Chain A
Amino acid sequence: MNDLLTGIETAFHLILAVDPQVFDIAIRTLQITFSSVLISTIIAIPLGSAITFREFPGKKTLISLIQTLYALPTVIVGLLCYMLLSRSGPLGDLKWLFTPNGMIFGQTILIIPIMAGLTIAALQAIDPIITDTIKSLGATRLQFLKSHLKEARFAIMAAIIVGFSRAISEVGTAIMIGGNIKGHTRVLTTAISLQTSMGNFNLSLALGIILLAIALIINLGMGFVQNR
């Protein structure tokens, strides 16, 4: 109990005092997470739409496969990306191992399945009557797609939020690809993991509270947008 209380106290202290090191880590976390969410959004939403609206053999299997990948362990993504990005690996020339770029790469791979899968679910949930109406009104393909995305916008927003949440909270990929280098690839989760391993439970807890506070702000922002 004591640890818990002091943890909360430490968190407020770090936030109010704008601890430069913690601030730096928080900003880096946001940069990396936003970048991977952005890239994943650009890939996953069109991908999800294409899968939903096109008929092709193996479609159901592909959707099941995407849904299976929701369970992709972060450390496996980390390991695969490590082997890809290592200088002795196929993408070694990028020199992205132990860099923020590598972390964005890994997180993007991690959250694309979940964002694409939730996009598919969002689009499939649209009332078929609406689909028929849009079709009967003679919509072009682009108009058709636009109106569907508009119809499913809340659910797609939720897909983005879930992707963001998974990216900001994961530690497996970040630590394997980033290497938790101070001032370079250390993000909130890897800092928490490090502090925990060093027995500094208060500080870990404080960093966790900061991470949740950031997530809360982002979610409130999104919720505000949705309510308008």
Chain B
Amino acid sequence: MIGRLSIGIIALVLGAMLLCGAVSAEKVDTLGEHSKDRLLIATTTSLDATKLLDLLEEKFKEETGVTVEHVAVGTGMALEIASNCDADVVMVHDRVAEDKFIDEGFGVDRRVIAYNYFLLVGPENDPAKVAGLNGTEAFMAIEEAGAEDPSIVFVSRGDNSGTHSREKLLWKWGGYDYADVNVSPWYREAGAGMGQTLTMADELQGYTLSDSASWGTYESNLSLVPLVENDDKFLNVYAVMRVNDEKCPDVNTEMAKKWENYMISDEVQEILQNYGVEKNGVPYFSPGRGSAEIMGVTVEETTDPVV
């Protein structure tokens, strides 16, 4: 009798789980598909970590009724996702990778939305004496000091993100072969996002390159200090592109264009002007409009609506 009872109870539990599953399956089904009312962005992490995209997505939804969602990954991964046709829009910050993406025919209608600067951050005692140097010199100083002083550490994102790619360029500009730098004892490849990399650099009391928006977001948890800022070589430009519908017929082109136009609209450019001031003291990003020359792009790329 007891056996029968427990079988009954097991059946009941399974039944309940079935019901639960059925209900949830129904619920998630409505969210399952990419529809014309959903736009998916593959984005660099800094736009997410600052919560800027959450804000803009909400406003965009109010105006258009379109649900915008984003997957926050490094620039390299974002472009990879998009070239598999798994996103409608990319928002990234790596000119070289962007150009390649466009040349391959995946990215179209690039618009430049904002910029800020990378910073070289490091321990307050600055063992490699980089404070006061320019961007390239600072990297050279770390390399030279690192070769002699075993306490010096540089933590790299090592994840093909836009920041990692700039860091590689900086080594190159300093006259080094990245393959050599990469195997140096003072060089630590984190293979992680900005937040984790900063935390690691903090624990190891090492140097790292960060975009200023992420730095502004994470800084309060860290003992590191910015050592080199606002250098020309540290310019960091954010762009938006839609995924080519000739390559990826399923993408939501209509909404992708609307999103791009929204990014260069007066409304968003004005939001950027002040975004982050409350929390960070200074804005996380500078609006792209009116700064084409600083960013080294054409004026059209900052203002011309996508049609």
Contacts and interface: CB of A to CB of B under 8 A. Distances in A.
A143 to B, nearest CB: 14
Contacts of B33: 95, 99
A38 B18 contact: yes
Contact of B86 (A30, A97, A100): A97
Given A86-B85, A225-B10, A101 B21 contact: no
Contact of A179 (B6, B31, B71, B221): B71
Interface in A82-105: 86-89, 92, 95-101, 104
Nearest to B53: A182
A197 B2 CA distance: 50
Contact of A225 (B3, B6, B31, B192): B6
B40 interface: yes
B10 A88 contact: no
Given A41-B14, A222-B13, A198 B218 contact: yes
Nearest to B4: A150
B96 interface: no
B32 A226 contact: no
Interface in A25-40: 30-32, 34-35, 37-39
Contacts of A183: 69
Contact of A99 (B5, B28, B72, B85): B28
Given A98-B71, A99-B31, A150 B21 contact: no
Contacts of B218: 198-199
B34 A31 contact: no
B21 A38 contact: yes
A153 interface: yes
B28 A100 contact: yes
B5 A197 contact: no
Interface in B9-43: 9-10, 13-14, 17-18, 20-21, 23-25, 27-29, 31-34, 40
A199 B224 CA distance: 14
A196 B34 CA distance: 30
A74 interface: no
B230 interface: no
B9 to A, nearest CB: 5
11 contacts: A35-B24, A37-B21, A39-B21, A88-B86, A95-B34, A98-B40, A153-B10, A179-B73, A197-B195, A199-B195, A225-B13
Ordered nearest first, which 10 A-B pairs have the shortest CB separation?
Answer: A31-B24, A38-B21, A179-B71, A100-B28, A87-B85, A199-B221, A198-B195, A101-B32, A35-B21, A86-B84
